[in-house]
Structure 1
């Protein structure tokens, strides 16, 4: 069970997770938060320390580096993102290591009422004897995607320290703002300069993902008519009431995240802000197929139009913005990177798992921009909340798969 990579991976993740690098969708900056530079600058330092070449921090906030090839072969990229999700507190993360997990419930020192139980999380039940890393109960851990960062850094160091391992040129990229859908700058495909790439941003051991959601985001703005409530009869138009009407008119039982699974898409209200005079609703739209995504956008517009028609004195606008598309549309034309990853799993005695991911990665956007980029597991579990955890041995399995993959690519 123990591997040569365990200690390095554990030390890296504990060090990285303690750094607050949360992204912020409301910020117009790139990266969206200055604190992400704490991770980005650290990546630059560590890459230089291990002997990587061409280390740079781009103007758009991505760290790039090269591990020179020791054999002929395609140039392969490995990517992970440094930001953590804005959905839950990420300030003051206190990572802790549970050595040789005993298979029982896990409690948290800073939140005694919080329990991570194998009864509720079957994947955890299979990790008895593993070394687990969790937070302390009041923050997320940030294994999404600092576990991926740790895997990529550990892979890079091992290849540099062992030049007898045959592999083609390897390009490393650490991106910001993946959690808010802004991780791939239009310049990245050219600057990365690879034949194909992989994100280390998956969960269960064996996951090789080449199908993701297609995604749009929407902003609905409702402007009412404001007047003193004491003199409001037949004059006031309450924007908050209209916002509520829009949300209630959308399908509640068949098209929300909590009512869908597998290949079903959804409309998800993420934020409501404002008051009686003006309201803003933010939503995300998800579907595996382009026409399904377009249909959800049409539905949202029709609901807004219907509510607008019910109150012509209001002003309701609905803007929909593209985020990323299902990587399958491009990967199915050339499955070479997927096939290599599947072969690498099997060579390590791991049964591959390829199911559609109900989310997206930087690879979704990269693939759309011409760089085939499926996703590989790195062990993260229960992400975006206080129960987040990862097995050090799962991270080691991902490192071994990437190592094998690098060698297999050189033989093609």
Structure 2
């Protein structure tokens, strides 16, 4: 029986979400907001107080710590646990006022501000949360469960292990990162410093989900140059870049290649930002696919449509600039299947069934995996991410901590068995 202190877990979570850590994509500093430094300082202090070793908030704001192995006689792989401290800029993150709903009885959950309501229609998962303690906002901000739920779970797991030295586990490394929400989470990480053999991110929604695949992702900028002249004398002389770009966008398949019409394992080409004039128009795209090679196919499609536009609107000129973002963690995990298998086995040990999932997005774990550290993603009780109706289940967070303890014990036991 693993007895996680639920009251302490809740206290931690409420303390962390009250620190504003909204990532800011418009600045070049790292981290992009001062609150991430503040939260990191708080976490480092708490880790030192609970007895973790090698605690450090480095010059980039990243927080590192170690939970020493409980059994020096067994050579056990070092496991890295990761969550990110920043929150999404997609919704307000300042002055978060968490509300605790104890023993949820079902139905919609009215919030205090702006007539906001968390409805069962919009969040079917509520039907499975009867009797849970839920943490919501007042409706004016997001909650920050993405990913402070993960942060709190890792912190409570660390304290549980340090207070219960009889629990067998290998060395555990802890890393709290910055600016994951704006794609910069791994920008300043030296994984040789982690010296880990495997890792897990605690950045998933719900419960009992082990995510071992995610999108491969690139960013693409398409620029179209036209020819401008006063409209009164434009006949035969003006070449409108806006029209050429509109041709390309309207020719993109809508039924099977847009985020509005795809799900599951389908990829997409997503034009999400544009700025333009007759003389020059720029469109930014997100290229996404679970098959990394399909990113080339998505770029080829755009270039072929642009070539058609150059023929139709003689005089326009298209240029493309593609930037790599992240890759499917599955590419790395397929060569180390035991990392996922141990996570699934830990759920089974606790009497629950794991569900393997695929992320239609990315995590720091995808970047870690590409850097040589295979890193699946685990559930942390988050729901309705990046919105003012975001909430978390304390019961699911508690279970996530129990699962981590069981998982770390499985790593130790498998190493011990292999040595005999």
Provide the TM-score with structure 1 as the length reference.
0.93
Task: Give the superposition deviation at 1:228.
Answer: 5.0
Task: Give the superposition deviation at 1:188.
Answer: 2.8
Give the Cα separation in 1 of the matches to 2:91 and 2:242: 26
Decide which of 183, 195, 198 is 2:197's aligned counterpart.
Answer: 195
Give the Cα separation in 1 of the matches to 2:89 and 2:234: 39
SS at match of 1:285: strand
Residue in structure 2 matched with residue 289 of structure 1 by the alignment: 291
Q: Is the 8 A contact 2:4 2:401 kept in 1?
A: no
Give the Cα separation in 2 of the matches to 1:241 and 1:3: 63
Residue in structure 1 matched with residue 258 of structure 2 by the alignment: 256
Residue in structure 2 matched with residue 41 of structure 1 by the alignment: 41
Residue in structure 1 matched with residue 271 of structure 2 by the alignment: 269
Matches within 5 A, 1:171-250: 171-185=173-187, 187-228=189-230, 232=234, 234-250=236-252
1:32 aligns with 2:32: yes
Give the Cα separation in 2 of the matches to 1:194 and 1:90: 33
Give the Cα separation in 1 of the matches to 2:139 and 2:173: 36
Residue in structure 2 matched with residue 167 of structure 1 by the alignment: 169
Distance 1:97 1:293, change over 3 A: same
Matches within 5 A, 1:10-25: 10-25=10-25
* Mean CA deviation greater in 312-321 or 77-86: 312-321
Q: Is the 8 A contact 1:78 1:170 kept in 2?
A: yes
Q: Is the 8 A contact 1:205 1:350 kept in 2?
A: no
SS at match of 2:357: coil
Please report the RMSD computed on the Cα atoms of aligned residues, expressed in angstroms. Answer: 2.2
Distance 1:20 1:368, change over 3 A: same
CA deviations 1:305-330 (Å, max 9, x no partner) are: 33344335444322111111111122
* Mean CA deviation greater in 193-202 or 181-190: 181-190
1:372 aligns with 2:369: no
Q: Is the 8 A contact 2:83 2:201 kept in 1?
A: yes
SS at match of 1:48: helix
1:110 aligns with 2:113: yes
SS at match of 1:378: strand
CA deviations 1:120-169 (Å, max 9, x no partner) are: 32211111111101122232211111111111111111112222221111
Distance 1:163 1:206, change over 3 A: same
Distance 1:242 1:343, change over 3 A: same
Provide the TM-score with structure 2 as the length reference.
0.91
Give the Cα separation in 2 of the matches to 1:243 and 1:24: 29
Residue in structure 2 matched with residue 69 of structure 1 by the alignment: 69
Give the Cα separation in 2 of the matches to 1:228 and 1:8: 69
Q: Is the 8 A contact 1:119 1:125 kept in 2?
A: no
Task: Give the superposition deviation at 1:104.
Answer: 1.1
Residue in structure 1 matched with residue 57 of structure 2 by the alignment: 57
Distance 1:209 1:226, change over 3 A: same
Q: Is the 8 A contact 2:239 2:314 kept in 1?
A: no
Q: Is the 8 A contact 2:60 2:188 kept in 1?
A: no
Q: Is the 8 A contact 2:24 2:32 kept in 1?
A: yes
Matches within 5 A, 1:89-168: 89-112=92-115, 114-168=116-170
SS at match of 2:214: coil
Q: Is the 8 A contact 1:304 1:318 kept in 2?
A: no
Give the Cα separation in 1 of the matches to 2:112 and 2:354: 36
Give the Cα separation in 2 of the matches to 1:49 and 1:119: 44
Distance 1:370 1:278, change over 3 A: same
SS at match of 1:210: strand
SS at match of 2:21: coil
Distance 1:118 1:309, change over 3 A: same
Give the Cα separation in 2 of the matches to 1:106 and 1:3: 29
Distance 1:343 1:84, change over 3 A: same
Alignment size in residue pairs: 410
Residue in structure 2 matched with residue 403 of structure 1 by the alignment: 405
Residue in structure 2 matched with residue 9 of structure 1 by the alignment: 9
CA deviations 1:238-283 (Å, max 9, x no partner) are: 4444443332222222211110011111112232235454433222
Distance 1:140 1:155, change over 3 A: same
Give the Cα separation in 2 of the matches to 1:28 and 1:309: 39
Residue in structure 1 matched with residue 388 of structure 2 by the alignment: 386
Unaligned runs of 5+ in 2: 416-420
Residue in structure 2 matched with residue 85 of structure 1 by the alignment: 88
Distance 1:371 1:301, change over 3 A: same
SS at match of 1:101: coil
